[in-house]
Structure formats: structure tokens, C-alpha cells
């Protein structure tokens, strides 16, 4: 059920939204009756990251395709802009749902959810326990454990695919984070535990670039790891991770993507991407919009999405994933089931 408070109707679909860095997109022109209006506030790094933000956008695009919604988008450049972007949407009274993408929006949302109690919100990667906010969290450590396990197994194996190869004489892998935070550190914790599960003697090189949108520094950081012997580098760094892929290609090594299947979204680097740790942010956004349309939206709860419900999954690369030995994939799958069954306890923090 759509509320009467929606005063403006916008054109549905890509032609009907405006994506403006640092501010809220303007209203689209024309259009007929839509099933819902949604305001999207993306994480810093913005659209085009072929990762976290783009996965969120896939959710709203799917909802538009299935439900004929209208939507507007905001791409804040800094954490300080989240409050204003959320407030613009909420204060207008035009949106059935405001979607806040990323943990860094938590503080701003706590204030705005209280100030606008009739506005429904969601937040991804954080928890805001307010009646008008539904929170979605993912089991990133478990997913990171699996790609860590894969990396730990492969670094001990003589393996070649595309123009890249491992050096089985050294057991070294790497992790590159974007901004240092408890969430990104949980990726690192899971990854390191997975590597250790495969080989307690393997070395993990870890570093944070300090930015989710610094491809050059991502490349520099990853290149240093490859030059130090890393066969494989996993990133949790948004667009900065593109630099990891660039370094893997130039050093003839391998990389692992995050959030989206980056062997598809970054197909120029598909020949070095062994796998991706996929977070179904798209499904979270889509299901939230669907609940608004079905009049079944329930705030005040946190939905935890993990391996068991495919909220987190390991997806092998489109170009070279098939070349990973089946026995290694079988071991990773066994670990997945052991985590689900509670036989492996994955650390949630460093």
C-alpha cells in the first residue's frame, strides 16, 4: 500500500532519476502512477564501484522492473553529508522508503529516524533499533573465511590460469581494506582465519588504504604485497579494489573480489579474479521495497543474512574459476557446511 503523503510522482526507471555527487538527486519529470517511491543514499565511493553501491542499485533497479517504482539517488562525498542527504528525502514527505547504504550512515540515521517517525528507512551494514528502521547485516566474516580458505589452499598449490600463476614455494597471501573500521576489520579477521584453517604456517599481509575510492593507492598497496611473495590478494575496499586487480594483472598473480561477482562487473580483469565474496545487498534492498509495496514493512528489527540463506556466498570467477581444482573447491564447500553446522567458529573481529 502506498501512502497518501507521496505528493509527487516521478518517472520510473533510469530516465527518471538524477544521481548527483554530494547532494540529493532532483525530481524526475512526468510519469504515471507508481507502486512506491524510494530515496537511495549511497555509501561514499558512490555508484560505479562495481561492488557495494552498485549491488544496492541493482536492488532498486530490480524493484523498478518488477513493481514500477520511482526513485531518486544521492551520492554523498563524505560522512558529513549523510545527515543532509537523508534529511532531504525524509523532510520532503515524498518517499515511501529511504534506503541508507553503508555502516557510516548509522549516526546520522539515529537522529533522522527519531526526527521523522513517519518515514520508513532501512540501513545496510549497521543496526538502528527504531520502530521505523529495518536493519540488514551480513555475515562478512564467514564469507571472508571461505575465500581465505581458498587462498590458503591455492597458495600451497602449483596453480596457473590465464597469464597468472602461484609460487608454491612460498605461502603468502594478502588482504587490502578500504577505510579501517570494525566492519572492514571483520573481513580481515574472517579471511585470516580461513587462511590459517588451510595452512597455519601461511603468511597473510594486511593493509588499509584509508579510502574506498583510491584506485592508485590500492594498486600500489597490492603490488607491494605481490612483490613480497603474495600469490593472491583479497580486497574489501570498494573502488580502491580495482587497483588490486590492476596490480594482480601486472604481476601475473591472482585476486579475489568482494560484494558483487567482480569477474562480471570488472570483466577487464576476469583473467585474474579467482572468485568473489558476494554480499546480496541487492536482495536486501529489493526485499525491503517489496515489503513496502506489500504493506508488510516491519521496522525495529535487524535481519542477519549469512551462508545458510545465501545472503553471503563464494562465487568462482567466470573466466578462470573452472580451472581451480575440484578437490580444493570441495574443501571450501566442506568448510561452508561446517560453518553453517557450527563446527567451525569464525572470529567476528580482529
Identify the burial level of 83 via C-beta atoms within 10 angstroms of its C-beta, where 0-12 means exposed, 13-18 middle and 19 or more buried.
Answer: middle
Cα angle vertex 280, ends 203, 107, to 5°? 85
Instruction: Give the mean model confidence (pLDDT) for residues 233-243.
Output: 96
> pLDDT (tens digit, 9 = 90+) per residue, 95-148?
999 999 999 999 999 999 999 999 999 999 999 999 999 999 999 999 999 999
Determine the Cα–Cα distance for residues 279 and 143; give it in Å rounded to an integer: 8
Q: What is the pLDDT of residue 19?
A: 39
Stated length of the chain:
350
**DSSP, residue by residue, 123-162:** EESS----TTEEEEEE-HHHHHHHHHHHHHHHHTS--EET
Residue 244, all three cell numbers:
588490486
- Based on the number of CB atoms within 10 Å of its own CB, is 342 exposed (0-12), middle (13-18) or buried (19 or more)? exposed
pLDDT computed for residue 32 by the predictor: 52
Tell me the torsion sign for CA atoms 80, 243, 142, 287.
positive
CA distances from 24 to 18, 132, 309 (A): 8, 21, 34
- The predicted structure's pLDDT at residue 189: 98
pLDDT band at 45 (very low <50, low <70, confident <90, very high): confident
In this structure, which long-range contacts are made by residues 332-337, counting pairs with CB atoms below 8 Å and at least 24 apart in sequence?
Answer: 332/146, 332/149, 332/150, 332/153, 335/145, 335/146, 335/149, 335/194, 335/197, 336/146, 336/307
C-alpha cell at 171: 605461502
Backbone dihedral angles phi then psi of residue 322, each to the nearest 5 degrees: -65, -20
Give burial (CB, 10 Å; 0-12/13-18/19+) of 170: middle
pLDDT tens per residue across span 286-329: 999 999 999 999 999 999 999 999 999 999 999 999 999 999 99
What values do phi and psi take at 160, rounded to 5?
-135, 140
What confidence tier does 224 reach under pLDDT thresholds 50, 70, 90? very high
Name 163's bridge partners. none
Quote the pLDDT of residue 285.
98
Burial 214-238 (b: 16+ CB within 10 A, else e): bbebbbebbbebbeebbbbbbbbbb
Q: Report the largest interatomic distance among the alpha carbons of the chain, rounded to a whole angstrom.
A: 67
Is residue 10 very low, low, confident or very high in pLDDT (cuts 50, 70, 90)? very low
pLDDT at 137 (0 to 100):
97
Please, which pLDDT band fits residue 20 given cuts at 50, 70 and 90?
Answer: very low
The 10 Å Cβ neighbour count of residue 304 is 14
Q: How far is CA 168 from the centre of its chain?
A: 31
Q: Provide the terminal-to-terminal Cα distance of the chain, rounded to the nearest Å.
A: 44
| Confidence band of 34 (pLDDT split at 50, 70, 90) | confident
Selected residue with higher pLDDT from 90 and 5 = 90
C-alpha triplet 57, 286, 180: angle, nearest 5°: 55
Range 88-98 average pLDDT? 97
Task: Please state, in angstroms and rounded to a whole number, the distance separating the CA atoms of residues 348 and 306.
Answer: 13
- What does the mean pLDDT of the chain come to? 91
**pLDDT per residue as tens digits for the range 181-221:** 999 999 999 999 999 999 999 999 999 999 999 999 999 99
274 pLDDT above the threshold of 70: yes
Looking at per-residue pLDDT, the higher value among 278 and 24 belongs to 278
Summarize the confidence of residues 265-292 as an average pLDDT.
97
CA angle 223, 225, 231 (to 5 degrees): 100
Element (H, E) at 344: none
149 pLDDT above the threshold of 70: yes
Other beta carbons within 10 angstroms of residue 48's beta carbon come to 13
Give the mean model confidence (pLDDT) for residues 232-249. Answer: 97
> What is the model's pLDDT at position 54?
95
Amino acid at each position: 500500500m502506498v501512502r497518501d503523503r507521496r505528493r509527487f510522482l516521478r518517472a520510473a526507471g533510469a530516465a527518471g532519476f538524477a544521481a548527483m555527487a554530494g547532494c540529493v538527486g532532483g525530481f524526475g519529470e512526468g510519469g504515471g502512477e507508481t507502486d512506491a517511491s524510494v530515496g537511495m543514499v549511497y555509501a561514499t565511493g558512490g555508484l560505479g564501484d562495481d561492488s557495494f553501491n552498485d549491488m544496492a542499485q541493482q536492488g532498486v533497479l530490480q524493484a523498478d522492473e518488477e513493481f514500477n517504482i520511482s526513485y531518486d539517488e544521492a551520492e554523498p562525498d563524505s560522512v558529513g553529508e549523510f545527515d543532509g542527504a537523508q534529511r532531504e528525502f525524509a523532510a520532503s514527505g515524498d518517499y515511501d522508503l529511504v534506503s541508507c547504504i553503508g555502516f557510516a550512515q548509522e549516526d546520522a540515521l539515529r537522529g533522522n529516524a527519531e526526527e521523522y517517525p513517519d518515514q520508513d528507512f532501512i540501513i545496510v551494514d549497521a543496526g538502528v533499533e527504531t520502530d521505523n528502521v529495518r536493519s540488514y547485516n551480513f555475515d562478512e566474516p564467514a564469507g571472508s573465511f571461505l575465500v581465505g580458505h581458498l587462498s590458503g589452499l591455492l597458495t600451497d598449490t602449483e596453480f596457473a590460469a590465464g597469464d597468472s600463476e602461484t609460487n608454491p614455494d612460498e605461502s603468502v597471501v594478502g588482504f587490502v581494506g578500504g577505510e579501517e573500521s570494525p566492519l572492514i576489520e571483520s573481513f580481515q579477521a574472517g579471511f585470516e582465519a580461513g587462511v590459517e584453517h588451510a595452512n597455519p604456517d601461511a603468511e597473510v599481509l594486511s593493509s588499509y588504504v584509508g579510502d574506498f575510492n583510491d584506485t592508485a593507492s590500492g594498486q600500489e598497496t597490492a603490488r607491494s604485497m605481490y612483490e613480497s611473495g603474495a600469490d593472491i590478494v583479497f580486497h574489501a575496499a570498494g573502488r580502491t579494489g580495482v587497483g588490486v586487480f590492476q596490480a594482480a594483472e601486472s604481476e601475473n598473480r591472482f585476486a579475489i573480489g568482494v560484494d558483487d561477482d567482480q569477474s562480471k562487473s570488472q570483466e577487464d580483469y576476469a583473467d585474474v579474479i579467482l572468485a568473489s565474496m558476494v554480499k546480496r545487498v541487492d536482495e536486501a534492498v529489493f526485499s525491503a521495497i517489496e515489503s513496502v509495496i506489500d504493506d508488510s514493512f516491519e521496522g525495529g528489527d535487524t535481519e542477519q543474512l549469512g551462508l545458510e540463506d545465501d545472503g553471503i556466498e563464494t562465487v568462482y570467477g567466470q573466466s578462470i574459476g573452472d580451472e581451480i581444482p575440484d578437490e580444493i573447491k570441495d574443501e571450501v564447500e566442506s568448510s561452508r557446511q561446517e560453518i553453517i553446522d557450527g563446527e567451525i567458529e569464525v572470529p567476528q573481529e580482529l
